[in-house]
Structure 1
């Protein structure tokens, strides 16, 4: 007859194995979720880009049909960005208001300087945004921060940290002078 202690140890071992299997499944599913979210984000961007390209093509066709190109109407206020919208390129007059809420929060967090002189890692940005520190969320924030860096809103270091955008003006007097055969 088996002992009660032996039966409890067997059940404990079985529960431990099941917990380890579930942890492995959870890790695998987290990675799959991050991959699926990345694919979804790329497809949303592709759809938005296509819609913009088609809209621009339609506007050009209408202008060429009329034979006259009119300047686009400028309103006093830009339309509010929507979630999933394309990140515009940074320019001198650009303000963070042009970004959707998620991107704006990342820019504001980096510009706050809370990360010190070395900038923010994707994990620090995720924590600073108050999101759960799981691989899917961290990769989503990294993707958004990388996109902001590609469009000039932030600077990305080779180590993967994100800092304020680098100044665009000349670094020193005379930096804009031409040097070479024709310029001196």
Structure 2
């Protein structure tokens, strides 16, 4: 009889683990459902607010601003923000270097990195650059800076002759004899 009770206890333990796993999945899905409901509610409120604004506008102005049959969503968005200053948040644009282009086209953090590399007595590593641009020497900051350095290399602002060692770009204005 002892082995039967042991088998039942083992099955009970396995069932308990399965229930706990399902409860964890349910909690995760409940969180996702709550976020989706919040997004839906925000969209509903936005739609109602736009309808109220359009209802309060004089007919000739609202017709000029929005004609549901002929106005695309992008046209509506453009008219809603006409004259407003546009700022892109969270996107840094690093243009490809071209002759005559100055560092002022780079976002500030990239400018700082290029300046530190230019001032370095020799090739610089990401972990040497991080404290010089005012960041703590933590792994995350070093890796983020390394990715920025790689991006600057890809776009022609810096060189990386040896992996992990960055130098100022040697501009190639004329074709070298070895190039095609």
Name the structure, 1 or 2, with higher relative contact order (CA <8 Å, separation 6+): 1
TM-score (norm 1): 0.45
Judging by fraction of residues, say which structure has more helix: 2
Q: Looking at CA atoms only, which structure, 1 or 2, has the larger radius of gyration?
A: 2
